[in-house]
Structure 1
Amino acid sequence: MVHFVGAGPGAPDLITLRGAELLKQADVIIYAGSLVNPALLELARGDCEIHNSAKMTLEQVIAVMEQAEAVGRTTVRLHTGDPCVYGAIREQMDALDELGIPYDDVPGVSSFCGAAAALRAEYTLPGVSQSVIITRLAGRTPVPEAESLMSMASHGASMAVFLSSGMLDRVQEELLKGGAYTEDTPAALVYKATWPEEKTVRCTVGTLAQAGEEHGISKTALVLVGNFLDSPYEKSKLYDPSFTTEFREASR
């Protein structure tokens, strides 16, 4: 059996209870070494076989899983954050389907959640934004034309931009081309959210590239954009005394 497990955004205690228990039980662990906090590997048994997938191809990863399954061993495939966001898990699952190897998927806390927590921010503020766009800038890996950063930026919604902190000048340019954000729209860089070395930098869309250069942030960081970072908002109707809900009558 193969278990795909979300490691969470970085802090070892932000993995789920289920994920932590599977790490303790695993015979084999294949972890995304460039992103997963190695402190999580301390949960593994002393005799657990551990592989760093940063040095492996897809075929090598699948071969390790296949070999483990052949002798009845349990494998944990440990991905950063939640595996469903830029985790490249679909191709692994398809390969396991072809081999007839059973697997399941254990969700984790995504780094975009960790980044909001680091900034004490809420993406969905009434009267400001009720949508969150998770996207990335096209680089060596392209994105569909209809999902270009400029196109996504045209909505003016709250945005978390992954895998793009090494191209902040282009990120800034594309965000402004979208037309909904201005030079003064609030933005932030969150480096290694929830790790001990976490760093947050608040700026604006117009100063994103400058902020990254001044603070030495060019990788392993999220770009957050939108008025949710600094804007007046409406209070939630859910807790408004004049608002009736299924559980509470409005006060007169």
Structure 2
Amino acid sequence: MTGNKVYIVGAGPGDPELLTVKAHRLLVQADLVIYAGSLVNPEILRVCRPDAELVNSATMTMEEVMSMIERAYLEGRKVVRLHSGDPHIYGAIREQMDMLREKGIPYEVVPGVSVLTSAAASLGTELTLEGVSQSILITRGGQRIPLDPREDIRALAQHRSTMVIFAAIHMIERVVRDLVEGGYSPETPVGVVYHSTWPDELVIRGTLQDIVRKVKEARIYRTALIVVGDVVDPKNYRRSKLYDPGYTHSFRRGNSGASRAEESVPAQRDP
């Protein structure tokens, strides 16, 4: 078993070209791939070998998944546990890591492109826009699995920062009500991205006043991300200081003279 380990891999949001190079390599090499079938684009699995065993975990419990992983590991097979997006966000990987440790099975987590960022790309927006919002609140719907009251959407809305809401499109009416009651204006822009980067991707734009109607008209009930905040449709914003010609930082001369980088770092020459 020397050198063998289990890989927990982020598959990205859906587009096979958004697999990381490492994720692609591991899928090509894998003997067993256990994937979240309701969330992972099946096109991604085309990179796997024809003789690889592909198992959809949608109907399995965590104990069943771990039992399959353990058996394959003890057989010396290369195992990939494939998650959608990035496994660190609503990926339930902590319990998997703990169970693997308890079994003495080494593992490695390979991050992936999150739907959080792919949805922002689909919307054509920047989630941290200067002069609009420099904070992102990430949460999920809490209908089936209740949230701590401190993390309730209504409570988080008091900050009026950019908010990204996972797994809540089926309860969009309640989400909008909580956002408005929590402090967002009804005119606050909202973007909904269904199947971000998949061939059937759908982007819906609106405000808290009309997004419920637009989502219902589009007949979207699952696999969509909700992005709330003025960054979705900014009317005014400030230029970033990072590239402002009047702003000096350690790597660039400003109007006031040489930068610290020029004073302390030798000039780099092309080879």
TM-score w.r.t. length of structure 1: 0.98
- Any runs of at least 4 consecutive aligned residues in structure 1 with deviations exceeding 3 A, and if so which? none
Of 244, 249, 252, which residue of structure 2 is paired with 1:248? 252
Deviation at residue 51 of structure 1 after TM alignment: 0.6
Q: 2:61 aligns with which of 45, 57, 61?
A: 57
For 2:140 and 2:180, the matched residues in 1 are separated by: 15
How far off its partner does 1:251 sit? 2.7
Whether 2:214 is the aligned partner of 1:227: answer: no
The aligned amino acid for 1:215 is: A
Report the 3-state secondary structure (helix = DSSP H, G, I; strand = E; otherwise coil) of the residue aligned with 2:76: coil
Query: Is residue 2:220 matched to residue 1:217?
Result: yes
RMSD of the TM alignment (CA)? 0.9
User: What secondary structure does 1:59 align onto?
Assistant: helix
Counterpart residue identity of residue 151, structure 1: A
- Kept after mapping to 1: 8 A contact 2:14/2:44: no
TM-score w.r.t. structure 2 length?
Answer: 0.91
Task: Give the Å deviation of 1:49.
Answer: 1.1
Residue correspondence of structure 1 range 120-159 to structure 2 within 5 A? 120-159=124-163
How many residues get paired? Answer: 251
**Corresponding letter in the other structure for 2:223:** T
Distance in 2, Cα, partners of 1:175 & 1:218: 19
Superposed displacement of residue 177, structure 1: 1.2
Secondary structure at the aligned position of 1:222 is classed as: strand
Q: State how far apart, in whole Å, the 1-side matches of 2:247 and 2:233 are.
A: 26
Q: Which blocks of at least 5 consecutive residues in structure 1 are unaligned?
A: none
> Larger Cα Rg: Structure 1 or Structure 2?
2
- Indicate which of 82, 96, 100 corresponds to 1:96: 100
Distance in 2, matches of 1:251 and 1:131, equals 30
User: Residues 190 and 200 of structure 1 are in contact (CA less than 8 Å); yes or no, is this contact kept in structure 2?
Assistant: yes
Report the AA paired with residue 69 of structure 1. Y
User: Residue type of the partner of 2:90?
Assistant: Y
Matched residue, 2:267: none
Matching of residue 205 in structure 1 with residue 205 in structure 2: no
- Aligned residue type for 1:212: V
Q: What SS is found at the alignment partner of 1:234?
A: coil
- Equivalence map 1:1-252=2 (5 Å): 1-179=5-183, 181-231=184-234, 232-251=236-255
